[in-house]
Amino acid sequence: MTVHLELRITYPSAQTANTIFRALSPDNFGYVDSKMAGNELIFNLTANNAGTLKNAADDLLACVKIAEEASGLSDAVPDLDGDALSE
C-alpha cells in the first residue's frame, strides 16, 4: 500500500513563495516533489505507510516554519524545546 499527501501553501506574492521555495529546495531534493504555481507552493509526498508519511509531513512543515521565520514572514517565537509552547 502507498499513501500520498499533497500540501499547498499560499503566500501573499510569488516573490515570497519563491523565497521559501528556494530555501527548502536543498532539504527536499529527492524526498519531496515540490513546485511553484504563482504564489502557491505545492508539495507531494508519498510513503509506504501513514506513519512514515506523517513523519515526512512533520519534517517538511518544520522546515517551512523555519524558512518563514528566517525570511521574516513570521513573528512567532520559536519552540526551542519541542513542547509546542513558545519560549
pLDDT tens-digit map of 14-24: 999 999 999 88
Contact predicate 9/64, CB 8 Å: yes
- pLDDT band, residue 81 (cuts 50/70/90): low
Tally of CB atoms within 10 A around 8: 9
Contact predicate 25/54, CB 8 Å: no
Domain 3-70: CATH architecture, name and number where available: 2-Layer Sandwich (3.30)
Instruction: Say how far apart CA 10 and CA 36 lie, in whole Å.
Output: 10
pTM comes to 0.76
Enumerate residues 6+ apart whose C-beta is below 8 A from 21. Answer: 34, 36, 41
